[in-house]
């Protein structure tokens, strides 16, 4: 008897003409995600994707990998019987042995309508059989055990326990976005939210090395490698900000430093985005969380870019962001101490109500284009892949 994993999608059903393409992407992502785990084949069925396991031992690892694949609404470990209800009875009697449940339902579905018994009748026949076999009663609304029977053309799939996925859309269907990744708690969560919506994310990190140590770089490398398990391949751009910061410190009032740091970060990020045909920038900002995140300062910072800046966490409380960071697994890395570029030469009382006119006047003394060009020239690009087959070069 073969063991399968059956994957169900939710939103993909709503995508009309794009559905075949979305499904192909999901199949492909599942193939990459489960590489090296003992999955023999990934195949597309009617409104579902199946994975054929080489043996039962592969299941725990496959379960973890499928769990992290966006576009998966729920999935099941599944068994099979030949397309004959007597065969289903025989398999059920083996599978149900040792399972304890007081109530159950049968959820039959004929993907192949040529099967001579209609779904309703399968429900009734198999319901009577399981009732006799186990003594459990039928409960259609809140059963202890839901027994799914999916009639495919060559076999009937039999599965019980549902595992919830993240849902969303398969990574790759929504295009490339460029996320500003700080090493803090918020930005990895923001990037992950966009992956959940089908975007591939490239990362940009600004550091002040060698003015400070490499700790923020090390964290961001770890975070990028970790987040890559949700999108299989990532690019990280490491941009030196130190020289820009020195110029800002020499020529502008302390209260405006963070706003200028941020405006430069935006300019460089936008250029990195454009070069790779990425259509939007993503940040982990949340309204009012810190001085640079007042509406006035967001407006002054956004004024330098000509592409959408997506802020998926704008309405989140810190606690809510932490909950997501814990659930997705970035929290423990994010809270490691580091020397972040934005904490360098920051005044006690930063401007929280900047206006663009003043910002532009103060900034006019800086050689903006040269500084941006220099930062881009000195940017280091690193590539990541997941699942990692070989240790990455240091």
Tell me how far, at minimum, the Cβ of 285 lies from Mg ion, in Å.
10
**Segment interacting with ligand ATP (CB under 6 A) among 156-164, 245-253, 296-304, 340-348:** 340-348
Cβ burial 16-51 (10 Å sphere, 16+ → b, else e) = eeeeeebbebbbebbebbbeebbbeebeebeebbbb
Tell me how far, at minimum, the Cβ of 323 lies from ligand ATP, in Å.
14
| Closer residue to ligand ATP (CB): 187 or 200 | 187
Asked if 283 touches ligand ATP (CB under 6 A), the answer is: yes
Which phi and psi (to 5°) does residue 81 adopt? -135, 155
| Closer residue to ligand ATP (CB): 158 or 185 | 185
Angstrom distance (rounded) from CA 187 to CA 191: 6
| Closer residue to Mg ion (CB): 13 or 290 | 290
Asked if 182 touches Mg ion (CB under 5 A), the answer is: yes
| Vertex 252: Cα angle to 250 and 258 (nearest 5) | 105
- Specify the DSSP element, H or E, that contains 107: strand 103-110
Which phi and psi (to 5°) does residue 5 adopt? -115, 125
| Contact of 202 with 235, CB cutoff 8 Å | yes
Tell me how far, at minimum, the Cβ of 319 lies from Mg ion, in Å.
17
Residues 148 to 187 in contact with ligand ATP, rule: CB under 6 A: 180-182, 184-187
Q: Tell me which of Mg ion, ligand ATP, none is bound by residue 283, counting a contact when its beta carbon lies within the kind-specific cut-off of 5 to 8 angstroms.
A: ligand ATP
Angstrom distance (rounded) from CA 166 to CA 69: 8
Residues facing 177 on adjacent strands: 201, 280
| Contact of 168 with 196, CB cutoff 8 Å | yes
Residues 285 to 314 in contact with ligand ATP, rule: CB under 6 A: 285, 289-290, 292-293
Q: Tell me which of ligand ATP, Mg ion, none is bound by residue 384, counting a contact when its beta carbon lies within the kind-specific cut-off of 5 to 8 angstroms.
A: none
Of 166, 168, 163, 133, whose CA–CA distance to 146 is shortest? 163
Asked if 201 touches ligand ATP (CB under 6 A), the answer is: no
Tell me how far, at minimum, the Cβ of 340 lies from Mg ion, in Å.
6
Asked if 193 touches ligand ATP (CB under 6 A), the answer is: no
| Closer residue to ligand ATP (CB): 29 or 334 | 334
Q: Which residues bind Mg ion (CB under 5 A)?
A: 182, 184
In the complex, the residues that contact ligand ATP under the rule CB under 6 A are: 180-182, 184-187, 204-206, 283-285, 289-290, 292-293, 340-342
């Amino acid at each position: 008897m073969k063991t399968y994993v059956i994957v169900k999608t939710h939103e993909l059903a709503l995508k009309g003409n794009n559905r075949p393409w979305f499904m192909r992407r999901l199949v492909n992502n599942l193939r990459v995600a489960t590489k090296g785990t003992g999955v023999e084949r990934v195949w597309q069925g009617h409104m579902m994707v199946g994975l054929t396991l080489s043996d039962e031992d592969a299941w725990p690892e496959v379960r973890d990998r499928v769990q992290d694949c966006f576009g998966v609404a729920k999935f099941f470990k599944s068994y099979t019987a030949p397309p004959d209800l007597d065969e289903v009875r025989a398999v059920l009697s083996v599978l149900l042995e040792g399972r304890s449940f007081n109530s159950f339902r049968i959820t039959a579905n004929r993907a192949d309508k040529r099967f001579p018994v209609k779904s309703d009748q399968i429900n009734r026949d198999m319901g009577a059989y399981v009732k006799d076999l186990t003594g459990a009663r039928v409960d259609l609304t809140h059963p202890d055990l839901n027994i799914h029977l999916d009639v495919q053309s060559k076999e009937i799939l039999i599965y019980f326990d549902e595992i919830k996925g993240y849902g969303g859309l398969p990574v790759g269907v929504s295009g490339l976005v460029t996320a500003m990744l700080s090493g803090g708690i918020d930005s990895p969560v923001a990037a992950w939210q966009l992956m959940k919506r089908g975007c591939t994310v490239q990362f940009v990190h600004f550091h002040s090395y060698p003015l400070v140590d490499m700790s923020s770089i090390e964290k961001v490398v770890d975070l990028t490698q970790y987040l890559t398990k949700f999108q299989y391949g990532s690019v990280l751009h490491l941009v030196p900000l130190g020289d820009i910061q020195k110029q800002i410190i020499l020529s502008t009032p302390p209260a405006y430093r963070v706003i200028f740091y941020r405006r430069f970060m935006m300019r460089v990020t936008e250029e990195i985005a454009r070069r790779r045909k990425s259509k939007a920038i993503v940040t982990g900002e949340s309204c009012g969380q810190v001085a640079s995140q007042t509406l006035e300062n967001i407006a002054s910072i956004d004024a330098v870019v000509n592409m959408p800046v997506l802020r998926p966490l704008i309405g989140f409380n810190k606690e809510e962001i932490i909950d997501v960071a814990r659930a997705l697994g970035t929290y423990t890395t994010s809270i490691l101490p580091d020397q972040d570029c934005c904490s360098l030469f920051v005044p006690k009382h930063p401007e929280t109500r900047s206006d663009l006119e003043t910002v532009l006047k103060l900034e006019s003394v800086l050689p903006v284009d040269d500084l941006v060009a220099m930062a881009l020239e000195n940017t280091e690009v690193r590539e990541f892949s997941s699942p990692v087959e070989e240790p990455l070069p240091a």
